[in-house]
Amino acid sequence: MILDRICVYCKEELKGRSDKKFCDAQCKSAYQYQQTKQQPERFFNKVDNQLRRNRKILKDYNKGGKVTVREAVLLSEGFDPNFFTHFWKNQKGEVYLFVYEYGFRKIKENRNNKYVLVLWQEYMSKR
């Protein structure tokens, strides 16, 4: 009994072992990538991706250690203020949210929503 064996990914005829599913490593890798893309994104991946995106955006806009940026600018880049790693409260009671070493605090200035961006400092870890 001869079985027609074809590659699961590219549909080419297979030669070799009887249990072979792919014609080469590239087809196997491409098939696994395709299968992964079809599965819904896991919660952990969504959170991790957004944290990395937020960190990159804050890093790109905070070149001087402390800067003010319009909210619309950050949001247009994909920034989501609901994703942060920790917070810090200063002596005035103002709360800064941090994405790793980059912090932000929402303010209203001249009827415009803005974010004050800061960089984590050593004195912030002292209680």
Taking the whole predicted model, whether its pTM rises above 0.75 is answered as no
Q: Is residue 56 part of a domain?
A: yes
- The structural domain count of the chain equals 1
> How confident is the model at residue 3, as a pLDDT?
64
Tens of pLDDT along the chain (127 residues)? 456 789 999 999 998 888 999 999 999 999 999 988 888 778 888 999 999 999 999 999 999 889 999 999 999 999 999 999 999 999 999 999 999 999 999 999 989 999 999 999 988 887 6
Q: Is residue 87 part of a domain?
A: yes
Under a CB-based contact definition with an 8 Å cutoff, are residues 14 and 6 in contact? yes
Tell which residue, 64, 87, 79, has the closest CA to residue 113.
79
> How confident is the model at residue 48, as a pLDDT?
95
74 CB burial (10 A radius; 0-12, 13-18, 19+): buried
Rounded to whole angstroms, the Cα distance separating 93 from 109 reads 18
> How confident is the model at residue 1, as a pLDDT?
44
> How confident is the model at residue 52, as a pLDDT?
97
Structural domain including 121 reads 43-125
Q: Is residue 1 part of a domain?
A: no
> How confident is the model at residue 8, as a pLDDT?
93
Q: Is residue 48 part of a domain?
A: yes
Q: Is residue 92 part of a domain?
A: yes
